[in-house]
Structures are given as C-alpha cells and as structure tokens.
C-alpha cells in the first residue's frame, strides 16, 4: 500500500470529528503500521495524518513540517501525538514537542523503537545497517537512488565499507519481503540478518492514547 504524502486518514474516510479525538501526526513510513494497529485494536478515536516519508532523507525539515501540521490541525482535536522519534533532528523535534505541549515517540529513530528502545541500546551495534518493512519495499527510492548507486556503483564501498551486516527488522512475517531484504544485503555487499520485531514500542505508545 502506497500512502499519499501529507494526508489525513480517518475512520471510514470521514473528516475529523472534533473534540474527543486524537490526531497522530506521523512519518509516512509508519502509515501502514499505525493503520494496522488502530484497526486491530479498534482505536477508532485516532485519526492519522502522514507527512511525506521522504523527510526521512532530510531530517532538518522534519521539525518545521511537524510544527505546521500541529498548528493547522490541533484545534479540531482533544490531543495530538507526534509519531516520530528524534529521527536525526538532534533534539530539535523533542524541544518543539515540549514547546507545543504534545507528546511524541521515545527513542533516537524508528529502528530503535521497533526493536524496543532498551533492547536496541543494549546491542550497541556500530556496524549494522537497518531496514524496516517500509525501507525494504522502498529500497531503491530511499537508499539506492538517493545515494547515487544506480549511477555510480563504485560508491558502494565508500558508503558502506564500515558496515558488516544488513539487519532487516521485520514488522510482518512476509517471505517476499525477507527475500527482497536479503537481495538488498547482497547489493550492498553485507551479511544478512533478519529480526522479527513486530511493532515494538510503537504499540504501547499508541495504546497510551
């Protein structure tokens, strides 16, 4: 499922229904997971607004984009939750959330909260390159082409020479995705490891809403 950029998704496609509802402002890379969790758990009080997933490649743009979304939409909701971790913003996003008086996901990035922040920190892996379900699906669009590897394959060792393993953090049991992740590892010249993480700390964070 390809999620449209900068889109608000509500129950049955209806517009936001005002007070008593929760707005989740999320990275587009988390759309599928958040929609799955809200559907399975019957969290029909939650509306999802996705910012473009490509901001993943431009973390300096995330705080302003989040701030604009919160400012534009918060009056229609009882509360707002930011479904981003720090995501390379160097603490700027957390400072913004504090200033706006809204909560956000804990952790440095999605790889951490998918595995569980405590478990991820305990591993202290310095030579692992991570992919999630979303990034496996979008590997060419978010990794291969942005790094210029489609045009300059010799840059592979420059970018990935200090990595040893591609770790696929699987949110779902999908053999086709696992095969694609294994192929991504081969293209990068890395060993392959699959870890089934499920949704990790994302589940309790949304449940708390």
Q: Could you report the per-residue pLDDT of 146-163, keeping only the tens digit for each?
A: 999 999 999 999 999 999
pLDDT at 12: 40
Q: Is it the case that residue 15 has pLDDT exceeding 50?
A: no
Under CATH, which architecture does the 7-105 domain have? 3-Layer(aba) Sandwich (3.40)
pLDDT at 2: 41
pLDDT at 54: 94
Q: List the beta strands (DSSP E) in the chain.
A: 7-9, 22-27, 46-51, 79-83, 103-104, 128-131, 165-170, 191-196
Q: How confident is the model at residue 14 (pLDDT cuts 50, 70, 90)?
A: very low
Q: Is it the case that residue 11 has pLDDT exceeding 70?
A: no
pLDDT at 20: 80
pLDDT digits (tens, 9 = 90+) for 66-101: 999 999 999 999 999 999 999 999 999 999 999 999
Q: Is it the case that residue 3 has pLDDT exceeding 70?
A: no
Alpha carbon 123 to its chain centroid, in Å, reads: 20
**CB neighbour class for 175 (10 Å; exposed up to 12, middle 13-18, buried from 19):** exposed
**CB neighbour class for 181 (10 Å; exposed up to 12, middle 13-18, buried from 19):** buried
Contacts of 41 (CB under 8 A, 6+ apart): 206, 207
Query: Mean of the per-residue pLDDT values for the chain?
Result: 92
Q: What are the start and end residues of each CATH 3.40.50 domain in the chain?
A: 7-105
Distance between CA atoms of 40 and 176, rounded to whole angstroms? 23
Phi, psi at residue 201, to the nearest 5°? -75, -10
């Amino acid at each position: 499922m390809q999620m449209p950029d900068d889109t608000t998704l509500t129950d049955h496609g209806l517009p936001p229904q005002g007070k008593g509802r929760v707005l989740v402002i999320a990275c587009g890379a988390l759309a599928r997971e958040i929609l799955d969790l809200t559907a399975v758990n019957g969290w029909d009080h939650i509306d999802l607004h996705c910012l473009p997933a490509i901001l993943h490649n431009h973390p300096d743009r995330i705080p302003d984009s989040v701030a604009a979304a919160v400012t534009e939409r918060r009056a229609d909701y009882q509360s707002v939750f930011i479904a981003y971790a720090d995501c390379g913003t160097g603490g700027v996003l957390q400072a913004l959330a504090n200033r706006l008086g809204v909560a956000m996901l804990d952790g440095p990035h999605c790889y951490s909260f998918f595995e569980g922040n405590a478990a991820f920190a305990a591993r202290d892996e310095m030579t692992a390159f991570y992919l999630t379900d979303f990034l496996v699906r979008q590997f060419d669009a978010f990794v291969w082409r942005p790094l210029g590897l489609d045009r300059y394959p010799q840059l592979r060792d420059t970018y990935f020479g200090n990595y040893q393993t591609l770790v696929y953090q699987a949110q779902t049991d999908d053999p086709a995705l696992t095969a694609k992740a294994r192929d991504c590892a081969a293209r990068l010249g890395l060993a392959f490891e699959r870890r089934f993480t499920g949704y990790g700390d994302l589940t309790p964070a949304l449940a708390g809403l």
